[in-house]
Amino acid sequence: MHSVEENDFGPKMQALTNLQRGFVLAKLQNPNGTDIEAALAAGVTGKTAASVRTSAHYLSHNPKVLEAIKEQAERMLHSGAILAAGVIIEIATDPMHKDRLKAADRLLGMAGLGIVTEHRVTVTHQSDAEKIAEIKKLTERLGFDKTQTRALLGSAGVVDAEFVEVAPATAALDAEWSV
């Protein structure tokens, strides 16, 4: 692990113990490594493998450690921005690169000169009755007769039927069904 000056750390890293700080740096240097490997690299010692595993677990779940990992990762990403910009410029300046146009477009966008596109979407709200009426008009235009239209609407879960009002149940029936 390379040495890093304490004043190079952000406030989250500075708030950690040396062991916790070492764990964070080990995780960042070897993100595919296990928590146990990071704990050992940070200086965790134990009489048994179980005690090392327990220490690694506590370190990897400590909220202060997790915040420090996030802080350091963000710093690494920000410092990598110059590298990313260089790659985009390299691709944009290579006349034979297949992604040259994409790189040029990205550079323009990053400079605030990207192409602005505008999309308009019109939404029309209709009641169920209006939708059914429209379907009926369309099926008439297509030459459907009323039976075919009703079958079509019925297969779509739409019921086009007449209803008859039913007299309310008597008090005796209501009492029989109440529990």
pLDDT digits (tens, 9 = 90+) for 121-155: 999 888 888 888 888 899 889 998 888 887 877 77
The answer to whether residue 178 is domain-embedded is no
Co-location of 86 and 65 in the same domain: no
The answer to whether residue 1 is domain-embedded is no
pLDDT band at 172 (very low <50, low <70, confident <90, very high): low
Tally of domains within the chain: 3
Co-location of 34 and 55 in the same domain: yes
Co-location of 131 and 92 in the same domain: no
Q: How far is CA 7 from CA 13, 101, 106, 156, in A?
A: 10, 42, 35, 69
Which residue would you say has higher pLDDT here, 15 or 160? Answer: 15
Co-location of 73 and 33 in the same domain: yes
Of the candidates 10, 3, 38, the one whose C-alpha atom is nearest the C-alpha of residue 24 is: 38
Co-location of 11 and 74 in the same domain: yes
Co-location of 74 and 13 in the same domain: yes
Mean pLDDT of 92-111: 93
Co-location of 85 and 75 in the same domain: no
Co-location of 73 and 88 in the same domain: no
**Mind listing the pLDDT tens digit for each residue in 40-88?**
999 999 889 999 999 999 999 999 999 999 999 998 888 888 899 999 9
d(CA 24, CA 68): 7
- In whole numbers, what is the pLDDT of the chain averaged over residues? 85
The answer to whether residue 102 is domain-embedded is yes
| pLDDT at residue 176 greater than cutoff 60 | no
Six-digit token string for 3: 């040495």
Question: Among 87-101, 111-125, 158-172, which stretch is predicted with the lowest mean pLDDT?
Answer: 158-172
Co-location of 87 and 71 in the same domain: no
Co-location of 71 and 99 in the same domain: no
Six-digit token string for 76: 């690494």
HSE-up of residue 64 (Cα within 13 Å, Cβ side) = 14
The answer to whether residue 176 is domain-embedded is no
d(CA 4, CA 18): 12
The answer to whether residue 120 is domain-embedded is no
- Do 23 and 59 touch, CB atoms closer than 8 A? yes
| pLDDT at residue 19 greater than cutoff 50 | yes
Q: How many helices (H) and strands (E) does the chain have?
A: 10, 0
Amino acid letter, residue 162: E
The domain of 20 spans 6-79
Cβ neighbours around 41 below 10 Å, total: 17
The answer to whether residue 117 is domain-embedded is no
What percent of the chain has a predicted confidence (pLDDT) above 90? 50
3-state secondary structure of 12: helix
The answer to whether residue 159 is domain-embedded is yes
H-run or E-run covering 19? helix 18-29
Co-location of 68 and 89 in the same domain: no
The answer to whether residue 121 is domain-embedded is no
Give pLDDT, residue 50.
Answer: 93
Co-location of 24 and 55 in the same domain: yes
